[in-house]
Chain A
Amino acid sequence: MKRVFIIMVVLLFPIVGTGQAKQVNDILDKYEKKKNVESILISPALLQLAGGSNVDITTNELLSKISQLRILNIKSSAMENGVPLSKLLREDLDQLIEKEKLNRIIRVQDNDELLEMFITQSTKGVLLFIASGSKEFSVISIFGEIDKSVINAAISGEIKVK
């Protein structure tokens, strides 16, 4: 019985990650059609690794793990009902991060720019960059099998658009 329970948990774990990825997608869908918002959706076919110096993964291996890259950029001037749109998006993301217990693995502050990096608990999920500054607020989401190699590639800045 215990073995069956463990097997069930292991089998359901990827679904949990998929659910978290879906929730991130839902939030991005909610904001992408608003004014002063730019949204870009890129399939892995248009991604590549740059140089591959510190990364122990080939481009093909990376492309096979990433299912999608989404970028949402909100200008600081964007408002909704007198509230900055970036603030509303941040609140939605914070709720998701708290509810789904996403792990923050990097936080970098440089003057008025703040960058945070979150990952889902399951490898089949999403890697989230939230970059906030005085001029704009950006969310970069990498969906797919987010394992150590993908995280390293992302941190090393090796992921580029062709």
Chain B
Amino acid sequence: MKSIEKNNISAILDKYFEALTSLEEEQQLRDYFAGEVAPEYAIYKPLFNSFSNERESLNNVKVDKNVKSTSSKKLHYWFSRISVISAAALVVLMFSIWPKQSDSLHLLINGVTVRNSELATSMAQTQLTRVNSMLGKYKQSNNQLEDLNRVGEAISPLMSMENVLKQNSEGSRLNDKQL
């Protein structure tokens, strides 16, 4: 930093009190008054020193804030990690301890879930058997229809013979007429 000359102090001080100093000039004044000063300027030393003290205390506050935010960030980080791990552990615990209901079989009686797979299976089979027994009637009639079809197929040669006989009898009638 450029050392301020004694000659210039007065000029810079005048400018300072008229608010015309640049930042560099103000820094020069602060540096000058931080060390030994000429007796004629000693009265100004407390002024520039108090500004320096204020500046230092502001810097300290900033540092404190930084320190605080860093530590709170760390705390937040660990808290969120622990929360996630706890939640995951809770979910795993729930799945392992919670009574598992098989999703392959579900029984409701009077609107209440009944956890009895044997009962559910038995009830389902009863209903399927009921339907199957009625379908048995359908199959029975189906079989009768098939039997009728078979009879029809069996007598179809006889039908064609009948047609042939009819044709022959018509032919012989025509012959008789011609004669």
Task: Give the B-binding residues of A (Cβ under 8 A).
Answer: 32-43, 45-46, 69, 71, 73, 106, 108, 110, 113, 115, 129, 131, 138, 140, 155-157, 159-162
Asked whether A108 lies within 8 Å of B134 as measured between CB atoms, the reply is yes
Contacts of B106 in A (CB 8 A): 39-42
Q: Is the interface of B mostly helix, strand, loop or mixed?
A: helix
Q: What are 28 sample pairs from A and B whose C-beta atoms fall under 8 A apart?
A: A37-B109, A38-B107, A38-B108, A40-B106, A40-B107, A40-B108, A40-B120, A40-B123, A40-B127, A42-B104, A43-B103, A45-B104, A46-B105, A46-B121, A71-B123, A71-B127, A106-B135, A108-B135, A108-B137, A115-B131, A115-B134, A131-B134, A138-B130, A140-B127, A156-B135, A157-B132, A160-B125, A161-B124
Contacts of A140 in B (CB 8 A): 127-128, 131
Partner of A131, one of B104, B131, B136: B131
**Residue interface mask B51-95, A partner, CB < 8 A = 1:** 000000000000000000000000000000000000000000000
Asked whether A113 lies within 8 Å of B134 as measured between CB atoms, the reply is yes
**Residue interface mask B107-130, A partner, CB < 8 A = 1:** 111110000000011011101101
**Residue interface mask B147-177, A partner, CB < 8 A = 1:** 0000000000000000000000000000000
Contacts of B136 in A (CB 8 A): 157
Asked whether B135 lies within 8 Å of A155 as measured between CB atoms, the reply is yes
Task: Give the A-binding residues of B (Cβ under 8 A).
Answer: 103-111, 120-121, 123-125, 127-128, 130-132, 134-139
Minimum CB–CB distance from A117 to chain B (whole Å) comes to 8
Asked whether A35 lies within 8 Å of B111 as measured between CB atoms, the reply is yes
Starting from the known contacts A37-B111, A115-B138, 6 additional A-B residue pairs (CB-CB under 8 Å) come to: A32-B108, A38-B123, A39-B106, A39-B108, A156-B139, A161-B124
A40-B124 CB under 8 A given contacts A129-B131, A138-B130: yes
Give the residue name and chain of the A residue nearest to B114 (CB). Answer: A38
* Docked complex Cα distance between A46 and B117 (Å): 11
Minimum CB–CB distance from A87 to chain B (whole Å) comes to 19
Give the residue name and chain of the A residue nearest to B106 (CB). Answer: A41
Contacts of B123 in A (CB 8 A): 38, 40, 71, 73
Partner of A42, one of B105, B108, B139: B105
* Docked complex Cα distance between A140 and B121 (Å): 14
Max count, chain B CB within 10 A of own CB: residue among A108, A155, A159 = A108
Give the residue name and chain of the B residue nearest to A129 (CB). Answer: B131
Asked whether A36 lies within 8 Å of B104 as measured between CB atoms, the reply is no
* Docked complex Cα distance between A32 and B139 (Å): 31
Minimum CB–CB distance from B162 to chain A (whole Å) comes to 36
